[in-house]
Amino acid sequence: MRLSDLIDVEAGTLSRASFASEEIFRRELERVFARGWNFVGHTSQLPKNGDFFLSRCGTETVIVSRDEQGAINVLLNSCRHRGMPACRYDSGNGNGFICSYHGWSYGLDGALTGVPRFKERYQGKLEREKWGLVRARVAVFYGSIWATFEEAAPSFEDYLGADMQFYLRALLQGPDGEDDGYEVIGGIVKWQVPCNWKFGAENFAGDHYHGYSHISVERLSVGLSGKTSRHNFAGVKVKQQPTFVADPARGHTIRASVFAALAPYDDQEAASAEVNDYYRRSHEKRQQRLGDKSRLLIRGGVIFPNTHFNSAGRTTIGLWLPLSAGRTEIWRWLFVPRNAPNAVKETLREYYLRYAGPGGMVEQDDMENWTAAQRGAESLVSRRYPFNYQLAMGLERRARPDEWLGKDVTITEDVTEHNQRAFYGHWARLVADAS
Amino acid sequence: MSQDRNSALDRLLLEAEIERFFSAEAELLDERRFDEWLALLHDDIRYWMPIARNVRFNQPEREYTREGAEANWFDEGKDTLKKRVLQIQGGDHWAEEPRSRTTHLVANVRVDSVAGSDVTVKSRFIVCGFRLEHDVDLFIGKRVDVLRREQAALKVLRRTIYLDQSVLLSRNLTTFF
């Protein structure tokens, strides 16, 4: 499979087969998902030793656990004897896992601790140290937990690159700019959509062109600004420059606003006095802590390939999990600032629930549109015609308005498909055969 | 008639009244008479649909995510429900434009307790949604409602919806339960 079967970089087009072909899907699993780093959860989900929860690395179910020493482990949830899940609970606390088939048992760190009939029928010879649950490489980055089973993958820090380390760290800073400032609300939202995973990925990567999808919520007041909008920053008066940042060599993308000046708080959470007070105090602390860089407002983005996030007063991190070319499972973690009063956490929680996921008044229209786009990628005649990614093509630049926005990244200001082009450019190089 | 028989008759009449109430409510939803449906909800309604988790047998309290604290499919009051109705009614909410055809079935209706003007009712539901040409949604589960009688009319004061799915197998929850 040649690169030109997938993408035409010069023309800014992508084949529809990229979304519908099972062969391309199989290549993605091997070359994109199995080789990358995956977000699997957050340390706030494991407050105590013995805590565990199930997560996913691409197609694989993994156990994320905190062992007796307090270390975090990510284990392939597949018994080494017959492949059964060693753990069948979404979350819990315990001292290990027992496979329900033949009773092999494992410690929280994956070590094979118990084998029935070990002495008499394995004659004590089974090398238990070699038959523990497969352990992933793990990285903890400002509270977020990442894993890969690929030995050849670079370190997580190199996988991110210096610029995306800055953005991911910023995403995980609380509203007051404190590092690792968020905690997960209990319960991961999980649902399935009959479309290719990349429709979600490209939307989160940089699609601010799809305002038309959401005109129904823009009529209403869904956000916390007290104004008619789905967003909280609707009331901010200081000029903000929509800014799209991509790392073309790694495929990561960020959507952001950069404010023209350091400005006082603008009552953007005015729907509730207590929430507004919290954000005012946080805004001031953040400016003190981060200085000029506090002009950055991350709106969202994608850590390649399938970890996606939203921000700007609505911090959620999620996964597009590939089930087949035409079906995707979505997982979504909801975050609230650790140090916020309970009333603030509660207001944010309700905002997330009416905004995001299958019950979310905003994202429902995204899911509807991606499902319909999938049909457009599948049918025999329509799939002969590529998708168009030419929006604001040629306007990206490396000369940045602010040095701290990064050195390896390309940037386009205002509405563009620059981030989608970077995402698909990297994706296509991985999926195609090396030329 | 004996006292027992009177009280049994009262209970039957109450259950019959509530079954008719639920049937009429389902009809309003299926006929997309959403404003009339909203009028059946108490102004202080809590509309809560937790997310099911797979947990150990001895931790049933963890099986559903908590109200007011954790992620839920829905956990909201009348203001948000009104906005959902306004969104559907505008003709620009693409997930419901063109609209789904729904059928709401409510069964196994049983009065659980009566306290003053509040009646707690348990039931089972099947909600079928068919959309566009090929899309099918099937939602099955249990409901616990608290109905409050005000000026002779019943209003839904609390609605708890326990969906049996843990991973939602549908892309959207654009219908009401």
Cα(B103)–Cα(A230) distance, integer angstroms: 30
Residues 6+ apart with CB under 8 A from A289: A176, A177, A178
Q: Does domain B3-163 have CATH number 3.40.50.1110?
A: no
CB B125 within 8 A of CB B160: no
Query: What's the pLDDT score for residue A399?
Result: 60
CA–CA dist A405, A398 (Å, integer): 10
Q: Do B95 and A365 touch (CB under 8 A)?
A: yes
User: What residues of chain A lie within 8 A of the CB of B174, using their CB?
Assistant: 364
Residue to mutate among B172, B175, B176, B177, with most A CBs inside 10 A, is B172
Structure tokens at A109: 């760190």
pLDDT of residue B1: 59
A77 and A44 Cβ atoms separated by less than 8 Å? no
Q: Which pTM was predicted?
A: 0.97
Question: Which residue ranges form the domains of chain A, and what is each CATH number?
Answer: 3-35+181-431 (3.90.380.10), 38-139 (2.102.10.10)
- Is A368 in Cβ contact with B53 (below 8 Å)? no
> What is the ipTM metric for this complex?
0.96
Kindly determine whether residue A188 and residue B68, on different chains, have CB atoms separated by under 8 Å: no
Q: List, in order, residues 6 or more apart from B33 with CB less than 8 Å away.
A: none
| Residue A97: Cβ within 10 Å count | 26
Interchain contact, B90 vs A219, CB within 8 Å: yes
Measured between beta carbons, the chain B residues lying within 8 angstroms of A190 are 51, 166-168
pLDDT, residue A227, reads: 79
A vs B: CB pairs below 8 A: 119
DSSP H helices in B31-163: 34-39, 78-89
Using one digit for the tens of pLDDT, what is the confidence trace for B45-91? Answer: 999 999 999 999 999 999 999 999 999 999 999 999 999 999 999 99
- Please state whether A124 falls in left (phi above 0), alpha (psi between -120 and 50) or beta: left
Contacts of B170 in chain A (CB under 8 A): 191-192, 358
Average pLDDT of the residues of chain B:
97
Q: What is the pLDDT of residue A312?
A: 84
Measured between CB atoms, which of B56, B87, B95 is closest to A367? B95
Enumerate long-range contacts of A375-384, CB under 8 Å, 24 or more apart.
A376/A16, A377/A16, A377/A17, A377/A18, A377/A19, A377/A20, A377/A196, A378/A16, A378/A19, A378/A20, A378/A326, A382/A16, A383/A15, A383/A16, A383/A17, A383/A20, A384/A16
Question: Is the pLDDT assigned to residue B118 strictly greater than 90?
Answer: yes
Q: Do A422 and A246 contact (CB within 8 A), yes or no?
A: yes
Give A350's contacts in chain B (Cβ within 8 Å): 75-76, 80
Give the best residue of A44, A222, A364 to mutate against chain B (max B CB count within 10 A): A364
Which of A138, A83, A129, A136 shows the shortest CA–CA distance to A107? A129
The pLDDT value recorded for residue A233 is 77
Contact A92 B69 (CB under 8 A): no
Query: Which class for A31: exposed (0-12), middle (13-18), buried (19 or more C-beta within 10 A)?
Result: middle
Six-digit token pair at A349? 């929680």
Q: What is the pLDDT of residue A400?
A: 67
Put simply, the answer to whether A92 touches B80 (Cβ < 8 Å) is: no
Q: For B141-175, how does the pLDDT look when each residue is reduced to its tens digit (9 = 90+)?
A: 999 999 999 998 999 999 999 999 999 999 999 99
Cα B77 to Cα A75, A364, A414, A434, B86, distances in angstroms: 41, 19, 37, 56, 15
| Binary contact (B171, A367; C-beta < 8 A) | yes
pLDDT over threshold 90, residue B100 = yes
Residues B175, B163: contact at Cβ < 8 Å? Answer: no
DSSP string for B84-119: HHHHHHTS--GGGSSPPEEEEEEEEEEEEEEETTEE
Domain residue limits, chain B: 3-163
* Residue numbers of chain A with a pLDDT score lower than 50: none
User: Nearest CA of chain B to the CA of A214: how many Å?
Assistant: 8
| Nearest CB partner across the interface for A216, out of B71, B80, B93 | B93
3-state secondary structure of A382: helix
So what's the pLDDT on residue A401?
Answer: 72
Choose the closest CB to B70 out of A186, A219, A222. A186
Residue-level pLDDT at A434? 84
Rg of chain B on CA atoms, in Å: 17
pLDDT for residue A30? 95
